[in-house]
Chain A
Amino acid sequence: MSAATQETAVRTGAVTRVFIYGLLIVFALFYLMPLFVMLANSLKPLSEITGGNMMALPQAWTIEPWQKAWSSAQIGVEPTGLRPYFLNSILMVVPAVAISTIFGALNGYVLTKWRFRGDSILFGLLLFSCFIPFQIVLIPMAMILGKLGLAGSVPGLVMVHVVYGIGFTTLYYRNYYAAFPTELVRAAMIDGAGFFRIFWRIMLPVSGPITVVSVIWQFTNIWNDFLFGVSFGGQSQPMTAALNNLVQSSTGVKEYNVHFAGAILAALPTLLVYIVAGRYFVRGLMAGSVKG
Chain B
Amino acid sequence: MGFLDIQNVTKSYGNVEVLHRVDISVDEGEFLVLVGPSGCGKSTLLNMIAGLEGISSGDIAIKGRVVNGVHPSKRNIAMVFQSYALYPNMSVGQNMTFGLEMHGVPKPERDKALAEVAKLLQIDHLLDRKPGQLSGGQRQRVAMGRALVRDPDVFLFDEPLSNLDAKLRVDMRTEIKKLHEKLQTTIVYVTHDQIEAMTLSTRIAVMNKGFVQQLGTPKQIYDTPANVFVATFMGSPAMNVVPARVRVVDGVPHAAVTDHDGQEQLLAFSQANLAQWDGREILLGIRPETITDPDGADRKSRNVVALRNMIGVTEPAGSDTFVTMTLGGRDAVARMRADVTVRAGTRFDFAVNMEKAVAFDPKTEERIEP
Contacts and interface: CB of A to CB of B under 8 A. Distances in A.
A191 B105 CA distance: 12
A205 interface: yes
B89 A186 contact: no
A139 B110 CA distance: 59
B280 interface: no
A54 B297 CA distance: 102
Given A181-B85, A186-B85, A197 B52 contact: no
Contacts of B88: 206
B307 to A, nearest CB: 50
A191 B51 CA distance: 12
A191 B102 contact: yes
A46 to B, nearest CB: 56
B277 to A, nearest CB: 50
Interface in B69-119: 71-73, 77-79, 81-83, 85, 87-89, 98-99, 102-103
Interface in A217-232: none
A190 B78 contact: yes
A187 B103 contact: no
B102 A197 contact: yes
6 tightest A-B CB contacts, nearest first = A192-B73, A192-B102, A191-B99, A205-B89, A187-B85, A183-B85
B73 A183 contact: no
24 contacts: A181-B83, A183-B81, A183-B85, A184-B85, A184-B87, A186-B72, A186-B79, A186-B81, A187-B85, A188-B87, A188-B98, A189-B52, A189-B73, A190-B52, A190-B77, A190-B79, A190-B99, A191-B99, A192-B99, A193-B98, A193-B102, A202-B87, A206-B88, A206-B89
A197 B90 CA distance: 14
Contact of A183 (B51, B77, B82, B89): B82
Interface in A21-42: none
B365 to A, nearest CB: 36
A138 to B, nearest CB: 43
Given A181-B83, A183-B82, A197-B102, A189 B72 contact: yes
Contacts of A183: 81-83, 85
Contacts of A190: 50-52, 72-73, 77-79, 99
B129 to A, nearest CB: 16
Contacts of B52: 186, 189-190
B81 A187 contact: yes
Interface in A137-196: 181, 183-184, 186-193
Interface of A: 181, 183-184, 186-193, 197, 201-202, 205-206
Nearest to B104: A192
- Among A184, A189, A190, A205, max chain B CB count under 10 A is at A190
Nearest to A193: B102
Contacts of A184: 85, 87
Contacts of B83: 181, 183
B347 to A, nearest CB: 55
Nearest to A180: B88
A237 B77 CA distance: 58
Nearest to B103: A192
Contacts of A191: 73, 98-99, 102, 146
Nearest to A189: B72
Contacts of A197: 102
A291 B71 CA distance: 33
Contacts of B146: 187, 191
Residue of A183, A187, A189, A193 ringed by the most chain B CB atoms within 10 A: A187
Contacts of A187: 79, 81, 85, 87, 146
Contacts of B79: 186-187, 190
A187 B99 CA distance: 9
Most B CB contacts (10 A, CB to CB) among A184, A189, A192, A197 go to A192
A49 B52 CA distance: 72
